[in-house]
Amino acid sequence: MAGIVWCSEYSINEKSLDKQHQELFKIVDEIDDFVKKVQNNFEKEDRDNFKSIIFKLFNYIKFHFKNEEEFMEKINFPFLEEHRRVHKELTNKTKNLLLVNDIDISSVIEQLSILTKSWILNHVCTEDILINNYLTRLIYTGESHYTLEQYINLKKMIANQDIEKEYQFFYICNCDLKIHRVPQSIHEELLKEKRYFRCPSCKEVLCLKEKITNKEETFEYFKKRFGNVKINKNF
């Protein structure tokens, strides 16, 4: 599994905040390495390292959230108050970990992983993207800023699991004989949050057709629907 790395897909097109997000990704990657190192063998000296790394995260998110909120005020961002509430919650969650004295390592490591990946990285990669959408006047939040492929890669990084092994759902667009395989967890997320993706080729919204479990079932579907046609197997 590759490390946690910021890339241009997560840019909000504001140079100073992008740099801060990159630094935040580095800190989270450092924490991820620490978690992997100690989760099965927590030594006495790891207690001080634990406090140090959480303190580093705590100070940086306070600094970053303050700058981000000032920028959102400057551009009259309509979701500023929602962002402030999330920032406060994340700051408090980090502070609570700092206040832990008697470390139950299994519980704390789990809390740390949830905080850094499911909360902080997810916030940067999904909610902060709305800032860029607002700046480009694409404020409707139903449409994903990412392509399906980019979003799958993002979820794999945050969840630290191969979601492509999940049951797959069959989505189509306006491209001839093209399918988009959507993992079950993302499919359920789209339905719950009423969000959607567009095909990067035809620019049309991806529409649900049916569930599939493997390519053989897909070929059978095309055969029944289109007869003996040449099918591109590189989907």
Q: Where are the domains of the chain?
A: 8-135, 148-226
Query: Which residue, 182, 151, 147, is CA-closest to 164?
Result: 182
pLDDT at 23: 92
pTM of the model: 0.63
Cβ neighbours of residue 27 closer than 8 Å, sequence gap 6 or more: 53, 56, 57, 60
Give the Cα separation of 6 and 226 in Å (integer). Answer: 42
Measuring CA to CA, how many Å separate 27 from each of 60, 117, 180? 9, 11, 34
Q: Which residues have CB under 8 Å from 3's CB, separation 6+?
A: 29, 32, 33
- The CATH class given to the 8-135 domain equals mainly alpha
Per-residue pLDDT, 1: 41
Residues of the chain under the 70 pLDDT cut: 1-3, 44, 101-106, 137-141, 159-161, 210-235
pLDDT of residue 142: 72
At 229, the amino acid letter reads V
